[in-house]
């Protein structure tokens, strides 16, 4: 059985995390997507161990990471599954509560298990924290004194034109985690024979020093590892699970589509893109890549991998630019 590790990180500063809208700098996301995290680890790995292992990364030889989600105290939050949540008739008829549940983005592990098992949930208003987090009755007291877990906001910046000497204001989004009350990000790692967990951990430590996400030149995105250990994902359906819950972005292989991974699926898409900056100060627009989003529910066809895709523009010949679409998922 493949080993899985959990890495909890504590940010030293706020993050600028690109959103689905790509070039809109005024916004920042509240999770670190798996392709961003993978790219950061690969960059740090290269600086520590060279490029020999990175010249050609095959999907079945690579390590796999989930996206990074919030945690607070001992509560791990997962993306709300894109499937029907069973509620009592009274709760269904409560339009105010229904809207609150719809706005929830993250659920605690205990709530996640109930949703995936199709158990009927008895949700009260005090179980929804800060409009975005759904917790169980037993977890309400744990968060009663917590001011916030994670929040996004925009900050104004001033740029000076070098020719006209005129100033111009622009805005950039930031994501702040309430580290003062034991909140942070966490993610899962599945190492491989080619990429050992020891080397991956060292790369993550270097990544914490250099920063993750955008705006790193002004100190954003730096963090420290707070906890790193082996982790066992919950077994929702111990015998023959028929579906999977994505905990990462995912770009399927053609064979996985042909095997019916989308049969009866409930999912959402995002388009990932961005810019490539070279030592010659030339910017290149990376190719767009469509991904299934975290929280998507797909058919379990067994041995689901996904793809690592070269998104370098056709004109760029220096080296390959990898975009991670490997699937990290929870069977149920």
Q: What's the total number of domains in the chain?
A: 2
Question: Are residue 210 and residue 249 in the same domain, yes or no?
Answer: no
Question: Are residue 201 and residue 277 in the same domain, yes or no?
Answer: no
Check: CB of residue 43 under 8 Å from CB of residue 209. no
Question: Are residue 255 and residue 225 in the same domain, yes or no?
Answer: no
Q: 127-141, 269-283, 294-308: lowest mean pLDDT where?
A: 269-283
Domain holding 33, by residue range, is 1-18+29-72+180-232
**Mind listing the pLDDT tens digit for each residue in 186-215?**
999 999 999 999 999 999 999 999 888 765
Within a domain: 147: no
Question: Are residue 249 and residue 296 in the same domain, yes or no?
Answer: yes
Q: Does 142 or 315 have the greater pLDDT score?
A: 142
**Mean pLDDT, range 168-190, rounded to an integer:** 86
Give the model's confidence band at 128: pLDDT under 50 very low, under 70 low, under 90 confident, else very high.
very high
**Mean pLDDT, range 138-162, rounded to an integer:** 82
β 133-134/106-108 pair status: parallel
Task: For 186, list phi and psi in degrees, rounded to 5.
Answer: -140, 155
The CATH number given to whatever domain includes residue 62 is 3.30.70.1890
Question: Are residue 187 and residue 248 in the same domain, yes or no?
Answer: no
Within a domain: 137: no
Question: Are residue 67 and residue 210 in the same domain, yes or no?
Answer: yes
Any idea what the Cα angle at residue 288 is, between residues 53 and 80, rounded to 5°? 90
Query: Which pTM value belongs to this model?
Result: 0.90
Helix (H) or strand (E) holding 169: strand 167-177
Within a domain: 129: no
Within a domain: 55: yes
Within a domain: 122: no
Question: Are residue 199 and residue 326 in the same domain, yes or no?
Answer: no
**Mean pLDDT, range 103-118, rounded to an integer:** 97
pLDDT surpassing 60 at residue 241:
yes
Check: CB of residue 248 under 8 Å from CB of residue 37. no
Check: CB of residue 266 under 8 Å from CB of residue 243. no
Give the model's confidence band at 24: pLDDT under 50 very low, under 70 low, under 90 confident, else very high.
very low
Question: Are residue 195 and residue 316 in the same domain, yes or no?
Answer: no
Question: Are residue 222 and residue 249 in the same domain, yes or no?
Answer: no
Question: Are residue 264 and residue 318 in the same domain, yes or no?
Answer: yes
Within a domain: 191: yes
């Amino acid at each position: 059985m493949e080993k899985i590790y959990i890495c909890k990180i504590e940010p030293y500063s706020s993050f600028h995390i690109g959103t689905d809208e790509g070039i809109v700098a005024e916004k920042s996301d509240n999770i670190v997507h798996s392709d961003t995290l993978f790219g950061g680890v690969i960059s740090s790995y290269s600086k520590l161990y060279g490029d020999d292992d990175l010249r050609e990364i095959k999907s079945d030889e690579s390590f796999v990471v989930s996206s990074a989600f919030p945690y607070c105290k001992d509560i791990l939050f997962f993306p709300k599954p894109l499937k029907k949540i069973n509620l009592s008739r009274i709760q269904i008829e409560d339009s105010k509560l229904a809207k609150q549940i719809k706005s929830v983005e993250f659920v605690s592990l205990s709530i996640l298990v109930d949703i995936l098992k199709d158990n009927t949930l008895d949700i009260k208003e005090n179980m929804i924290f800060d409009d975005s987090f759904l917790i169980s009755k037993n977890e309400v007291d744990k968060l009663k004194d917590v001011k916030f877990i994670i929040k996004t906001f925009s900050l104004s910046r001033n740029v000076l034109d070098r020719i006209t000497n005129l100033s111009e204001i622009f805005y950039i989004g930031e994501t702040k985690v309430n580290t003062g009350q034991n909140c942070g990000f966490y993610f899962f790692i599945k190492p491989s024979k080619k990429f050992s967990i020891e080397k991956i951990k060292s790369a993550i430590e270097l990544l914490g020093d250099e920063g993750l996400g955008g705006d790193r030149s002004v100190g954003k995105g730096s963090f420290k590892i707070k906890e790193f250990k082996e982790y066992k994902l919950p077994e929702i359906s111990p015998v023959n699970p028929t579906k999977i819950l994505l905990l990462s972005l995912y770009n399927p292989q053609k064979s996985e589509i042909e095997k019916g991974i989308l049969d009866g699926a409930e999912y959402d898409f995002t388009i990932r893109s961005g810019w490539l900056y070279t030592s010659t100060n030339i910017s290149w627009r990376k190719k767009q890549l469509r991904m299934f989003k975290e929280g998507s529910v797909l058919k379990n066809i067994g041995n689901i991998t996904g793809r690592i895709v070269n998104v370098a523009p056709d004109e760029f010949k220096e080296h390959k630019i990898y975009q991670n679409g490997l699937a990290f998922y929870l069977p149920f």
